A and B are shown apart, each in its own frame.
Chain A
């Protein structure tokens, strides 16, 4: 990041700080400088190349436990002053926020090695090479059998600076890479999608591999017929877990969301069984190459690995300092005001994808992607449906043969999904998708879910 930009950001933070000090008892200011890029492509051609250069402030302001948070991207001096004057007025009218206690005093010990796990200087100034990479990956997918490809390649870097009213001050840098490709056959309903994401340009980021996988899925999906509705075992690719399993640790186990009653775990407490024994899940802000990793959260609490689901049992909700139980510490999930997940990490099992298909002893579908997951209600048990989008296959002869099928819809609920996830793949893959209910990055294996109701249109 150019020093001039960071100087400007620091100056704006200082301006906001002076203003905040004049009327707030507690405050925190997060300054973010980001330089992001996107190459968008479709019909195997580049549609547009985008660049975002942005400086922004996220502010948390409190006056005698009345709180407010605001994002300011209009960083003119006049706007910062005007917005903060407005916030002062708002705080006078706001009621007591009983959820807010205070910010943690520390002192803390930080693992400085995390910085190297999330920043790769090679990603900065990658822009010219990005189009070459997209073109090569597209070609790989076409070679594999796709007739045309579409996708996005996001990459960039950001610098986060944080200060608060307790005198704490810190910063870190992060890089991000996210490549997603969708391959289409001549038959427009035969498609395959794959993605790869990381913080580093190394073997954890493999666009050619993703493109090849997408091409291969789309080729196998050619000639798919409408599937029969009924009850199936489904074996899901890691990215499908962002729609089906990850929303539980990523959304419902956010203590703030639970307190509001806006999640299906309402009424569930620590020690309750909520999933199959095979399922453990963590929030892990320290994981190498994790897009959600950072040295500390927005309250300067050092990042940690927090066990959320322990072999099927609800172990702990994630929270910030204000929401932590009396005598307990934050789980290092503070956003500028509300708790937020970092990276959701699932346990692995000991199966390959082929073995999962082999052990499934009921009619089985292989689901490579889904989208448009929608809820009937956030209340328990979290009834939802989700649509398989790309290659969907009926598993035959215990996986020796895959028959493409179409037009089936997953109808289930989060309790059923977690209880019936009975076998796991032996490798984790980082997935970060743009449309799934849980926005955080997820590290997940292939998963086998039993007895899922699949429906289709009646006309």
Chain B
């Protein structure tokens, strides 16, 4: 990529020449390499995936993105033709369309003022997953196949995916920023469907993902975790009983807490949704009707967002507008405390950007995105959370979920869920308990969050925008307790 850096400089210089006048100009030269190896029911598959987890699952991408703010209008043009002529053409297109876009705007787009950085950053790792020999990757996946050779009372369909990737980029803008970033990522994604003859079935999809290198993935000893998951699926299909009627207390495990922090808090806190900019794509936000300071849940509820979590799947130190990353406190003591901003939304709210602008490749626009969203730890051990529950459920994982486009009405169907009776977790598995609840109803039902040592994170690809950008993130949290819930 180094050899093309002068083209990026040329693009920026050209955007400021020939009488062109841009309020803001940025150029991103970016290279993405993605390798995917999958074993589908034991058979190796090397290449793009038949199911869509992320676009271009086996690909090499390199190109330039030019984004210009001219007369209050924004234009973006991208090319992977790395010649001076193509880059000039790219700048001219971005400039022309930005100028025309600005003409009809009542409110000219502005960018928040930010410090310019000249910096090189990368995630900390020992072994780059992209450099691991193919044979080793194949052997890694093969160890999981042994799990399915054991005897179970049900059949399994299994799809084991190992996704390794590397992002390298150079970001420059007309304010003097010059940032290079390097992040290799690895994710192991087992998709497992347990089926009993007669049709009863249960499906699980987990994403174990990190930026801390291949050695970190190996250290997680995932074989045991996947083995436990397979056993649990078998038990769910063969033994689970109907969920209880009436109101109960509910304890949600870190996986479920994580998805809730992402869907019910992270997305609605994105300032572009609040402003309506995603109105026709990922949707808006119920927080559009509220201001910072609005009570959203009980005092014990704290949800944070932190791109700088070491080893996290959503790790970055500078966002794709060159702003230094930091932790964001979205809900603090039950109060809507902070939005996620890029420079455009920050300017509208008259605040500084908190570095939430992300793009997944050179051909995508940087948008307001989450990185790693999680419930902050509380003061309770799991035992303390359970001890006074007369009738309840411990929902460790989830299967189907969805949420409306304002992020107000959500549904989470439990997967591995155990009945709690008289302060004890029983062996009774409960079949597909359905939590269908509004965001305020949910955050207003939480009365306890688990201690720090129970926090776990799960990798995910967060979808947003059009064309879609599946952004790598972590979601997580400790156990959380919800009181007085009626299952759907």
List chain A positions with a Cβ less than 8 A from chain B.
5, 8, 38-43, 45-56, 67-76, 79, 83, 89-90, 93-95, 97-98, 127-128, 131, 135, 148, 150-152, 180-182, 184, 188-189, 193, 254, 256-257, 260-262, 337-338, 371-381, 383-387, 389, 407, 409, 434-435, 439, 455-459
Binds A, one of B97-105, B115-123, B222-230, B334-342: B97-105
In the assembly, what is the distance between CA of A95 and CA of B134, in Å?
Answer: 12
In the assembly, what is the distance between CA of A93 and CA of B93, in Å?
Answer: 45
- Say whether, besides A93-B135, A262-B159, A457 and B441 are in contact (CB < 8 Å): yes
- B109's nearest neighbour on chain A, judged by CB, is A47
Contact between chains at A260 and B159 (CB < 8 Å): yes
Q: Which residues of B contact A435 (CB under 8 A)?
A: 463, 468
List chain B positions with a Cβ less than 8 A from chain A.
31, 40-41, 43-44, 46-48, 50-52, 56, 58-63, 73-82, 86, 89-90, 93-94, 97-98, 100-101, 104-107, 109, 134-135, 138, 157, 159, 193, 195, 199, 201-203, 275-281, 283-284, 288-289, 363, 365, 399-406, 409-411, 413, 432, 434, 436-438, 441-442, 444-445, 463, 466-468, 485-488
In the assembly, what is the distance between CA of A45 and CA of B281, in Å?
Answer: 15
Complex partner residue of A71 from B48, B63, B98, CB under 8 angstroms: B48
How distant is A237 from chain B, measured CB to nearest CB, in Å? 16
- B86's nearest neighbour on chain A, judged by CB, is A53
Complex partner residue of B60 from A74, A254, A455, CB under 8 angstroms: A74
In the assembly, what is the distance between CA of A262 and CA of B205, in Å?
Answer: 13
Contact between chains at A150 and B279 (CB < 8 Å): yes
Complex partner residue of A338 from B50, B89, B403, B488, CB under 8 angstroms: B50
Contact between chains at B276 and A43 (CB < 8 Å): yes
Contact between chains at B41 and A260 (CB < 8 Å): yes
Complex partner residue of B46 from A42, A90, A131, A456, CB under 8 angstroms: A90
How distant is B157 from chain A, measured CB to nearest CB, in Å? 4
Contact between chains at B279 and A182 (CB < 8 Å): yes
- Say whether, besides A377-B193, A384-B400, A151 and B436 are in contact (CB < 8 Å): no
Q: Which 4 residue pairs across A and B have the least CB separation, nearest first?
A: A150-B279, A459-B441, A49-B97, A74-B62
Q: Which residues of B contact A150 (CB under 8 A)?
A: 276-280
In the assembly, what is the distance between CA of A262 and CA of B191, in Å?
Answer: 10
Contact between chains at A95 and B60 (CB < 8 Å): no
Q: Which residues of A contact B434 (CB under 8 A)?
A: 455
Contact between chains at A434 and B466 (CB < 8 Å): yes
Q: Which residues of B contact A181 (CB under 8 A)?
A: 280
How distant is A28 from chain B, measured CB to nearest CB, in Å? 13
Instruction: Label chain B's interface by main secondary structure.
Output: mixed
How distant is B240 from chain A, measured CB to nearest CB, in Å? 13
In the assembly, what is the distance between CA of A107 and CA of B46, in Å?
Answer: 30
- A338's nearest neighbour on chain B, judged by CB, is B50
How distant is B38 from chain A, measured CB to nearest CB, in Å? 10
User: What 4 additional pairs, Cβ within 8 angstroms, besides A5-B81, A56-B80, A75-B80?
Assistant: A49-B98, A51-B97, A74-B61, A385-B400
CB<8 Å pairs between A and B, sample of 14:
A45-B104, A46-B73, A55-B81, A69-B58, A73-B60, A135-B104, A181-B280, A261-B157, A261-B193, A374-B401, A387-B403, A457-B411, A458-B486, A458-B487
How distant is A438 from chain B, measured CB to nearest CB, in Å? 11
Contact between chains at A53 and B203 (CB < 8 Å): no
In the assembly, what is the distance between CA of A378 and CA of B201, in Å?
Answer: 9
In the assembly, what is the distance between CA of A54 and CA of B64, in Å?
Answer: 11
Complex partner residue of B281 from A152, A189, A458, CB under 8 angstroms: A152
Q: Which residues of A contact B488 (CB under 8 A)?
A: 455, 457-458
How distant is B484 from chain A, measured CB to nearest CB, in Å? 8
In the assembly, what is the distance between CA of A209 and CA of B80, in Å?
Answer: 36
- Say whether, besides A148-B276, A374-B402, A459 and B485 are in contact (CB < 8 Å): yes
Contact between chains at B107 and A127 (CB < 8 Å): no
- B98's nearest neighbour on chain A, judged by CB, is A49
- A75's nearest neighbour on chain B, judged by CB, is B80
Q: Which residues of A contact B93 (CB under 8 A)?
A: 51, 127
Q: Which residues of B contact A409 (CB under 8 A)?
A: 402, 409, 411, 436
How distant is B346 from chain A, measured CB to nearest CB, in Å? 16
- Say whether, besides A45-B107, A256-B50, A377 and B409 are in contact (CB < 8 Å): no
Q: Which residues of A contact B444 (CB under 8 A)?
A: 459
Interface centre among A75, A97, A376, A389 (most CB of B within 10 A): A376
Complex partner residue of A459 from B80, B134, B445, B463, CB under 8 angstroms: B445
- A49's nearest neighbour on chain B, judged by CB, is B97
In the assembly, what is the distance between CA of A434 and CA of B55, in Å?
Answer: 13
Contact between chains at B467 and A434 (CB < 8 Å): yes
In the assembly, what is the distance between CA of A135 and CA of B401, in Å?
Answer: 37
Q: Which residues of B contact A48 (CB under 8 A)?
A: 74-76, 101, 365
- Say whether, besides A374-B400, A387-B402, A67 and B81 are in contact (CB < 8 Å): no
Contact between chains at B101 and A73 (CB < 8 Å): no
In the assembly, what is the distance between CA of A182 and CA of B380, in Å?
Answer: 45
Q: Which residues of A contact B51 (CB under 8 A)?
A: 257, 262
- B403's nearest neighbour on chain A, judged by CB, is A372
In the assembly, what is the distance between CA of A104 and CA of B480, in Å?
Answer: 58
Contact between chains at B74 and A47 (CB < 8 Å): yes
Q: Which residues of B contact A42 (CB under 8 A)?
A: 275-280
Contact between chains at A387 and B101 (CB < 8 Å): no
Contact between chains at B100 and A128 (CB < 8 Å): yes
Q: Which residues of A contact B438 (CB under 8 A)?
A: 457, 459
Q: Which residues of B contact A375 (CB under 8 A)?
A: 203, 400
Q: Which residues of A contact B468 (CB under 8 A)?
A: 434-435
In the assembly, what is the distance between CA of A74 and CA of B157, in Å?
Answer: 35
In the assembly, what is the distance between CA of A68 and CA of B134, in Å?
Answer: 13
Q: Which residues of B contact A56 (CB under 8 A)?
A: 80
How distant is A56 from chain B, measured CB to nearest CB, in Å? 7
Contact between chains at B441 and A54 (CB < 8 Å): no
Q: Which residues of A contact B486 (CB under 8 A)?
A: 458-459
Interface centre among B58, B74, B79, B279 (most CB of A within 10 A): B279
Complex partner residue of B106 from A45, A374, A455, CB under 8 angstroms: A45
In the assembly, what is the distance between CA of A371 and CA of B464, in Å?
Answer: 13
Contact between chains at B436 and A93 (CB < 8 Å): no
- Say whether, besides A49-B74, A374-B401, A383-B400, A459 and B442 are in contact (CB < 8 Å): yes
Interface centre among A372, A387, A455, A459 (most CB of B within 10 A): A459
In the assembly, what is the distance between CA of A36 and CA of B436, in Å?
Answer: 40
Q: Which residues of B contact A97 (CB under 8 A)?
A: 43
Contact between chains at B100 and A151 (CB < 8 Å): no
In the assembly, what is the distance between CA of A447 and CA of B74, in Å?
Answer: 41
How distant is B241 from chain A, measured CB to nearest CB, in Å? 17
Contact between chains at A71 and B50 (CB < 8 Å): no
Contact between chains at A261 and B41 (CB < 8 Å): yes
Q: Which residues of B contact A384 (CB under 8 A)?
A: 400
Q: Which residues of B contact A89 (CB under 8 A)?
A: 134
Contact between chains at B106 and A93 (CB < 8 Å): no
Q: Which residues of A contact B441 (CB under 8 A)?
A: 457-459
- A456's nearest neighbour on chain B, judged by CB, is B436
- Say whether, besides A49-B100, A188-B288, A374-B402, A385 and B411 are in contact (CB < 8 Å): yes
How distant is B195 from chain A, measured CB to nearest CB, in Å? 5
Contact between chains at A68 and B280 (CB < 8 Å): no
Q: Which residues of B contact A127 (CB under 8 A)?
A: 93, 97
Contact between chains at A76 and B74 (CB < 8 Å): no
In the assembly, what is the distance between CA of A95 and CA of B40, in Å?
Answer: 12
Contact between chains at B78 and A45 (CB < 8 Å): no
- Say whether, besides A71-B60, A152-B281, A93 and B134 are in contact (CB < 8 Å): yes
- A5's nearest neighbour on chain B, judged by CB, is B81
In the assembly, what is the distance between CA of A172 and CA of B266, in Å?
Answer: 44
How distant is A161 from chain B, measured CB to nearest CB, in Å? 16
In the assembly, what is the distance between CA of A459 and CA of B436, in Å?
Answer: 8
In the assembly, what is the distance between CA of A94 and CA of B472, in Å?
Answer: 28
How distant is A57 from chain B, measured CB to nearest CB, in Å? 10
Q: Which residues of A contact B56 (CB under 8 A)?
A: 71, 73
Q: Which residues of A contact B47 (CB under 8 A)?
A: 67-70, 337
In the assembly, what is the distance between CA of A41 and CA of B107, in Å?
Answer: 13
- Say whether, besides A93-B138, A128-B100, A188-B284, A376 and B413 are in contact (CB < 8 Å): yes
